[in-house]
Amino acid sequence: MLNPKVLQSVRLIQKIIIVNEDGLVLAMRRPTSDRSRPDSWDFPGGGYEQGEDIRQSLEREVMEESGLTLSSFQPIFIASKINDASHFYKGENTVFAVCYLSLNWSGDVVLSNEHVEYKWVSPEEFLTYEFGSDGGFFTESLSAYLQMKKQSIGD
């Protein structure tokens, strides 16, 4: 008998908004040959691999894609309606996507083959970029970050 608490055909995607000392966020562009979102802009992060600790999974993905080491991070947005898996991965029934925020990290950006370009840009500028078929995840994540930032200034 299958355990009803074990989800079948589910994928967890973790992305992170990395902010530098000037308040700019790391924007990374995917290559033209990318299978899911060609030429689209991205945050570092990626898929959880079975058996990994969720925290270690995000730290691994960030290191692999950007060369940066995370010191601390916190979740700021969870996509609740990514049931059309074509937004991220074809063939999955349900995809959950979590976006985190890190103001504390170290290292210099070194791109992997998953990205062809990076820029440090304002969150507002990043909102004008093309994210591809992401179901609104990047726009909503950036909006959540801007709302957090606005609230912290008002406190």
pLDDT at position 64 over 70: yes
Contact 119, 34 (CB under 8 A): no
Which of 60, 71, 79, 65 is closest to 19 using CA atoms?
A: 71
Mean pLDDT, rounded, of the chain: 86
Q: How confident is the model at residue 151 (pLDDT cuts 50, 70, 90)?
A: confident
Residue 49 included in any domain: yes
Segment 86-111, tens digit of pLDDT: 444 455 567 788 999 999 999 999 99
CB 46 within 8 A of CB 61: yes
Number of domains in the chain: 1
Q: Is residue 103 part of a domain?
A: yes
Higher local confidence (pLDDT), 91 or 113: 113
Higher-confidence residue of 132 and 102: namely 102
Residue 62 has pLDDT above 60, yes or no: yes
Q: What is the pTM of this model?
A: 0.86
pLDDT band at residue 80, thresholds of 50, 70 and 90?
low
Q: How confident is the model at residue 121 (pLDDT cuts 50, 70, 90)?
A: very high
Share of the chain above pLDDT 70, in %: 83
pLDDT at 129 over 50: yes
Q: Looking at the domain assignment, is residue 145 inside a domain?
A: yes
With residues binned 3-state (H G I as helix, E B as strand, rest as coil), the percentages for the chain, rounded to 5, are 25, 30, 45
Tens-digit pLDDT profile for residues 1-26 = 555 555 566 778 899 999 999 999 99
Phi, psi of 137 (to 5 degrees): -60, -45
Which of 6-20, 35-49, 61-75, 86-100 is least confident? 86-100
In a domain, 38, yes or no: yes
Range of the domain at 137: 10-154
Domain CATH for 54: 3.90.79.10
Whether 5 is covered by a domain: the verdict is: no
Residue 56 lies in a domain: yes
**In terms of DSSP H, where are the helices of 12-136?**
54-66, 123-126
- The structure tokens 């969870």 sit at 78
- Tell me whether residue 2 is in a domain: no
Mean pLDDT over 61-89 rounds to 80
**Residue 147 falls within a domain, yes or no?**
yes
